[in-house]
Amino acid sequence: MRRALLAVAVACLGAAVLLGGALADRGASPGPDLVRLPAETWSYRPAGTWRRDGRQVDPPLLRMDGPQPLLIMRAQVSRAEYAACVADGVCAAVRPGPGDEPQTDVNWYDATAYAGWLSRRTGQMWRLPTDAEWQRAAAERFADDALGDASLTDRWLARYSHESEGEPDPLLRRRGGWGENSRGVADLAGNVWEWTNDCVVTGTFDAGGQVAGRDEFCGARVVEGRHRAVVVDFIRDASAGGCAAGVPPQHLGFRLVREN
Give the pLDDT confidence of 67-124 residue by residue, as tens digits: 999 999 999 999 999 999 999 999 999 988 999 999 999 999 999 999 999 999 999 9
CA separation, residue 226 to residues 79, 81, 171, 251 (Å): 21, 24, 15, 11
Q: Please identify every stretch of the chain with a pLDDT value under 50, giving residue numbers as ranges.
A: 1-29, 154-158, 160
The pTM of the full predicted model, rounded to 2 decimals, is 0.80
Query: Residue 2: its pLDDT value, please?
Result: 39
CA distance linking residue 77 with residue 101, whole number of Å: 9
What ranges make up the beta strands (E) of the chain?
A: 34-37, 40-44, 49-52, 55-57, 62-66, 70-73, 126-127, 192-205, 211-224, 229-232, 251-253, 257-258
Query: Residue 45: its pLDDT value, please?
Result: 84
Task: List the alpha helices (DSSP H) in the chain.
Answer: 2-18, 79-87, 108-122, 131-138, 152-164
